[in-house]
Amino acid sequence: MLSLKKLSFISFVLFVTAGVTALQAQIPGSEAAGRWDITIATASGEQPAWLEIETSGVSALVGRYVGPSGSARPISQITYSGDEETYEFSIPPQWSKGADLHVEFTLEGEQLKGRTTGSGGNTLEWTGVRAPALEGEEEPEWGEPVPLLDKELSKWMIPENSQFEMENGVMVNQKSGGNLITKDAFDDFKLHVEFRYPEGSNSGIYLRGRYEVQIIDSYGMEPDSHLLGGIYGFIDPSVNAAKEAGEWQSYDITLTGRMVTVELNGREVICDRPIPGITGGALDSREGTPGPLMIQGDHGPVEFRNITITPAVD
């Protein structure tokens, strides 16, 4: 039985929490708080992006932004004009030189509608919808394992600029080229991958075509989301379990909803963590739908000798 002192403390904490929540709800523009899946209209087709809006304290809006490339970037302040009901923010360039990226948008019902002006001065229109919760089953029923490598690469869509080919049972990417995408789409699954890379190389595996599990030469470095074992730009591995370049390594990945567990070389480095949103380079931002696997081939040499997926049974 709880003592009167403990009950009083719990009541105080609940009272303060309720008060802060009420104050945050009064922050101008806070009705747009949440995570948004964005589709950008360009001359060459649609591109995905992602936006997170949060309240900070009792007076400010902050957030994170992921563009069609790069990783999640912090937004130190999102300003809101109550007169025009518009939001805007600017963030510095990440992997390119030039002016800041400037974003303006409005909340219209359950959609965001906005425009983005890049470093070159080009303005692109976009729309955003609220990201789904993606609550996966805690204990899904698993189907049969499906090997994804054969000598014809028959389970993959192969672009014209692909450098991937099978050599003695190993899928080899000799140099930078196109990305490989599975013909089938997947919802929840377990994935086993065996890979190796030369010194300094870089690749990645996109789960459902949206969430990159990083592959990069990382031996001896501090754990980081941009290095081997990380969900790119979002989730750091708990330890760096990378082997030296040139050695065969393995991933065992479980994805249910947006919850991910990653084992690297037999060590659990991410344990049942939610992936906040899409990572840079994603195929699309339609998080509520199944998606393919994508193997990054546009960065550097990499080899795969086993890629086996075990889908959950509906």
Distances (CA, A) of 83 to 28, 59, 109: 11, 17, 17
Q: What is the pLDDT of residue 23?
A: 47
Structural domains of the chain sorted by starting position, each given as residue range(s) with its CATH number in brackets: 32-130 (2.40.128.120), 146-311 (2.60.120.560)
Query: Could you give the CA distance from residue 141 to residue 20 in angstroms, rounded to a whole number?
Result: 42
| Segment 250-259, tens digit of pLDDT | 999 999 999 9
- The answer to whether 60 and 77 have CB atoms below 8 angstroms apart is yes
Give the range among 49-53, 121-125, 148-152, 237-241 with minimum mean pLDDT: 121-125
Cβ neighbours around 16 below 10 Å, total: 10
Pairing of strands 34-42, 45-56: antiparallel
- Strand partners for 170: 167
Q: What angle do CA 310, 190, 215 make, to 5 degrees?
A: 120
Q: What is the pLDDT of residue 16?
A: 38
> What average pLDDT does the segment 216-226 reach?
97
Looking up tokens 């949206």 gives 210
How many residues are given for the chain? Answer: 314
Q: What is the pLDDT of residue 211?
A: 99
Query: Could you give the CA distance from residue 131 to residue 278 in angstroms, rounded to a whole number?
Result: 10
Q: Which two tokens stand for residue 206?
A: 């996109």
- The answer to whether 311 and 187 have CB atoms below 8 angstroms apart is yes
Average pLDDT, the chain: 92
Query: Could you give the CA distance from residue 294 to residue 180 in angstroms, rounded to a whole number?
Result: 5
Phi, psi (degrees; rounded to nearest 5) at 26? -90, -5
Reported confidence tier of residue 291, pLDDT bands at 50, 70, 90: very high
| Segment 223-247, tens digit of pLDDT | 999 999 999 999 999 999 999 999 9
Reported confidence tier of residue 8, pLDDT bands at 50, 70, 90: low
Looking up tokens 């219209």 gives 108
Distances (CA, A) of 209 to 205, 292, 293: 8, 5, 5
Query: Could you give the CA distance from residue 38 to residue 67 in angstroms, rounded to a whole number?
Result: 9
> Is residue 83's pLDDT more than 60?
yes
